[in-house]
Structure 1
Amino acid sequence: MTDMRRVTVSIPDDLDKMVEKFRSSDSGKGFSYSEAVRRLLEIGMKADARGRKKR
């Protein structure tokens, strides 16, 4: 069992398609839907943090 917090998030159709596209790419092969969302969220948060440092 994991210690991760569980949340429910509604994902618009366009983002859902992006997640599925990521899962079918070489980078996302083998990830469950939730793992793909976590990975993409982490990538986005890191990119945002880098962008904030540049300001």
Structure 2
Amino acid sequence: MTNMKRITISLPKDLEETLSILKTDPHFMDMTSSQIIRYLLRIGAKAETRKT
């Protein structure tokens, strides 16, 4: 078990489909949905903090 906070989010259909597509990419194949979402959140957060 990890010490990360657990949250529940609802994904719109288009993001669900994007996640399914990403899972077929060799870079993401071995990742769980949670790992992919955390990865993308980090990228987005870094991009946003660079803008300010």
Q: TM-score range by the shorter chain?
A: 0.7 to 0.9
TM-score by length of 2: 0.84
Structure 1, unpaired ranges of 5+: none
TM-score by length of 1: 0.80
Post-superposition, which runs of at least 4 consecutive aligned residues in structure 1 deviate over 3 A? Answer: none
Residue in structure 2 matched with residue 14 of structure 1 by the alignment = 14
- CA deviation vs aligned residue, 1:7-52 (integer Å, no higher than 9, x gap): 0100001111112222211221210111111111111111111122
Greater helix content? 1
Structure 2, unpaired ranges of 5+: none
Number of matched pairs? 52
